A and B are shown apart, each in its own frame.
Chain A
Amino acid sequence: MEQNGRIDHSIISLEHVSKRFESAGRVKEVVNDVSLEVKENEFVVLFGPGQCGKTTMINLIAGLEPASGGTVTVDGKKVEGPGADRGVVYQTTALFPFCTVMGNVEFGPKSRGIDKKTRRERAQYFINLVGLEGFEKSYPNQLSGGMRQRVGIARAYCNDPKVMLMDEPFGHLDAQTRYMMEEELEKIWQKEKRTVVFVTNNIEEAIYLADRIILLTNCPTSIKEEYIVDLPRPRSYVDPEFLKLRKTILDNTEETL
């Protein structure tokens, strides 16, 4: 695996991680011997074909599923279950439909028993940051897909996690909104730097956002290749360098499919 000596501290570390699911006596191997280091405040994109086990990798880091082999370490501690240091942004339906925007965003701090004034202030800051000022009292069913996903991002941020795990958060959005949200996410991330592991099967999204792209193989997934993306931000989708990288990665991807 490629080592980057410039940044010293690695916050997520996967060592020979594998994951098997057993159902009805059949064993299905989903993740096969993945080793990966993610540095502090790095934006890593896991890019791979659909159904390849990307979500499983997110769940392994989040602690929602135990690894069958190997270890996952976050911030020096072995992952043994979900925790507040890892925030997850899922696809649109993961908002609580019975909570307002405010209720969703303050859910994390509220669960941890933080007093109302502090958590309200915090929640308001992140609601403003994602551009939803004035929608605090709206329910998710009154919001558009893009707005819902902003709430999801604000909700994850509001719990102040060390690591943000994003599982195809823009997968359900239309193309136009998707571009907008990618730009928005980058701005938010520039303003509130966090370590991000972002899963997608959209190559433009990957190159637009990533410091580093991890190209995954088909199921059972393993790391096929890594690409450091050091284009200046914000990036342009039509920049020749961007397109070149896109071609390089796609050429490599098709072989795995």
Chain B
Amino acid sequence: MTELEKKKQKDKRKFALISVCSLCIFFTVWYIATAVMHLMPDYCLPSPVQVLEAFIYKLGNKAPDGGTLFQHIVASLKVALSGYVLGAVIGIPLGICMAWFRRIDLFVTPLFDLVRPVPTIAWIPLMILWFGIGLGAKAAIIFVSAFIPCVINSYAGIKQTKPVHLWVAQTFGASRTKMLFTVAIPTAMPLIFTGLRISLQAAWTTLCAAEMLAANKGLGYMIQLNRSLARADLIIVGMLTIGFIGTIFSAGLGKLESKMVKGGKKG
């Protein structure tokens, strides 16, 4: 048993090494292609070293796009989180209610089906007209993008509840409300989290799109503005930051999921 565990530990380290290798190779190839071979002009593809320099520069300087990296991050996070949290807080309960209460389902579903196929980006012009280019408009667009996957997945999750589980609860004398909370919602948990994950991705994507079109701060705005200045180094700094923050959020969500979703995905 311990032998096996040791072997597992060893395997784990070995596999971690493979992942580290992939990153190393990526940066090395990038470095050789730019700093050594100069395959592309610097303003199109800077070397990793130049990007790192730009990153350090951007930590303390507002030029040329009007904000330090940190200010852009804060601006983006504010928008993304307010829209995302609002989408989840309204979307998940709505999806649950639609799946559990037939009348709500019948009432909401036609409206929802009409709204659902509209690409989130198509909401941007209307939202700008309504809320201007401040936080409100972007948060509203992100809300739409996060809200829809949350509704769909919590709906599907509740619908997965097995009749036999409801029977068991019924024979134990549980009321319908009790069954919702003790049987249906726990059953739906894995899919609710899938919804949260998809929403997060959607929110982050939409954020960048929205900031490219209408903003005066934020990571999306930063990479868009630097395109017009031909500052590829700063564009890449922005892109990597977006990727990095997205990864952190996914990891956090994964941690939360493993805490909240018990007993595996199947019984």
**Interfacial residues, chain A to chain B (CB-CB below 8 A):** 59, 62-64, 81-84, 86-88, 90, 93-100, 107-108, 110-112, 139-141, 155, 159
Contacts and interface: CB of A to CB of B under 8 A. Distances in A.
Interface of B: 162, 164-165, 167-174, 178, 182-183, 186-187, 189, 261-264, 266-267
Contact of B170 (A82, A95, A96, A97): A82
Contact of B173 (A95, A96, A111, A140): A111
B266 A83 contact: no
A84 B172 contact: yes
A88 B173 contact: no
Contacts, number: 85
Contact of B174 (A93, A98, A111): A111
Contacts of A99: 186, 262-263
| A-B pairs with lowest CB-CB distance, top 7 | A97-B267, A139-B263, A98-B186, A108-B172, A82-B170, A111-B174, A84-B173
B263 A140 contact: yes
Contact of A83 (B173, B183, B267): B173
A94 B165 CA distance: 6
B170 A139 contact: no
A97 B165 CA distance: 10
Contact of B172 (A64, A93, A140, A159): A159
A160 B227 CA distance: 72
Nearest to B166: A64
Given A96-B183, A140-B267, A141-B266, A111 B169 contact: yes
Contact of B168 (A63, A90, A112, A141): A90
A83 B171 contact: yes
A88 B162 contact: no
10 contacts: A63-B171, A81-B170, A82-B171, A90-B167, A93-B267, A97-B263, A98-B186, A107-B172, A112-B173, A141-B266
